[in-house]
Amino acid sequence: MAGDIVLQTTGLSGGYGSIQVLFGIDLTVRRGETVALCGPNGVGKSTLVRMISGLSRPSAGTVFLNGLDVTGVPGARRPRLGMSTVIGQQAFGSLSVRDNLRMHTYPVNRTDEKPTTSVDGALAVFPRLRARADQPASTLSGGERQMLVLAKTLIQRPDVLLIDEFSLGLAPVVVGGLLELIRRLATAGVGTLLIEQSVNVAMSVADRLLFMEHGTIIAEHTPAELRESPDLARRLVLGGHAS
Ligand SMILES: Nc1ncnc2c1ncn2[C@@H]1O[C@H](COP(=O)(O)OP(=O)(O)OP(=O)(O)O)[C@@H](O)[C@H]1O
């Protein structure tokens, strides 16, 4: 069940140099809630996740993590405060799977001393990774790499998890397993903001779907609302003006 607000943005704006991409984004994610960001290509979804995660600086607006203003906190310091980001399939290719995970047990030092999952505990969730624990990460398949970055988040035990689309190019069975993990994290109280191009995938995991267009959020719906009105989701994803 969703609880207190763990992530909030107010009036978040910004872009690249003189090009403004985001225009005053207000959103919230509650404890244990999964919120999906949907919308056509180029509307600013990745830019928004980068700004929330601290990889880019907004020109205006505020990011609150557990009620704390973290707008000026560098991205690298945010895992300690409870924010983990999954963007792409980042891994140190020459290191083994196990050593990649070990790296995340050091810098965390969560100030609230929340217990973290051990490397073996994280590997136990992903039998495919456990079987490849001593292999260099560079030899993993795309889906296995995605499992590795999600296994990292089990170790970091975030309050807020930001995910830039992970389903693209992965076999449905792999996507299903990753979605199951997001559901388990939600049950454990993690609030997730997930970019997802596929509304069907988003509806299968999210409590709410936010639809973006031209750097703003134009609509917000629950999966139940979208199931009742199948045309609505289609129009929103195609960049319509429904709300
Ligand atoms: N580094 C950059 N420099 C300049 N413009 C950029 C940069 N990155 C993205 N943009 C532009 O910002 C806009 C928003 O891009 P963004 O990647 O946030 O969109 P998106 O909604 O995530 O798209 P997609 O679904 O295609 O990934 C686009 O017009 C894009 O061309």
Residue with tokens 């191009």: 197
Question: How far away, in angstroms, is 40 Cα from ligand 1 center?
Answer: 11
Q: How far apart are CA 192 and CA 209, in angstroms?
A: 12
* Nearest-CA residue for atom 4 of ligand 1: 16
* Nearest-CA residue for atom 3 of ligand 1: 16
Q: What pLDDT is stored for residue 1 in this prediction?
A: 44
Q: What pLDDT is stored for residue 242 in this prediction?
A: 43
Question: How far away, in angstroms, is 43 Cα from ligand 1 center?
Answer: 7
Residue 86 to residues 27, 122, 189, 201, 222: CA-CA distances in angstroms?
Answer: 19, 16, 18, 17, 24
DSSP assigned state of 243: -
- Burial of 85 from C-beta contacts in 10 A (0-12 / 13-18 / 19+): buried
ipTM of this complex > 0.85?
Answer: yes
Q: What pLDDT is stored for residue 20 in this prediction?
A: 97
* Nearest-CA residue for atom 5 of ligand 1: 16
Q: Which is the closest atom of ligand 1 to the Cα of 212?
A: 21
According to CATH, the topology of domain 5-87+158-237 is Rossmann fold (3.40.50)
Mean predicted lDDT score pLDDT of the chain: 86
* Nearest-CA residue for atom 27 of ligand 1: 41
Q: What pLDDT is stored for residue 116 in this prediction?
A: 58
Q: What pLDDT is stored for residue 241 in this prediction?
A: 45
Q: Where are the domains of the chain?
A: 5-87+158-237
Q: 15, 21 in Cβ contact below 8 A?
A: yes
Q: Which parts of the chain have pLDDT scores under 70?
A: 1-3, 88-89, 106-117, 239-243
pTM > 0.90: no
Q: Is the CB of 45 under 6 A from ligand 1?
A: yes
Q: What pLDDT is stored for residue 172 in this prediction?
A: 82
Q: What pLDDT is stored for residue 176 in this prediction?
A: 85
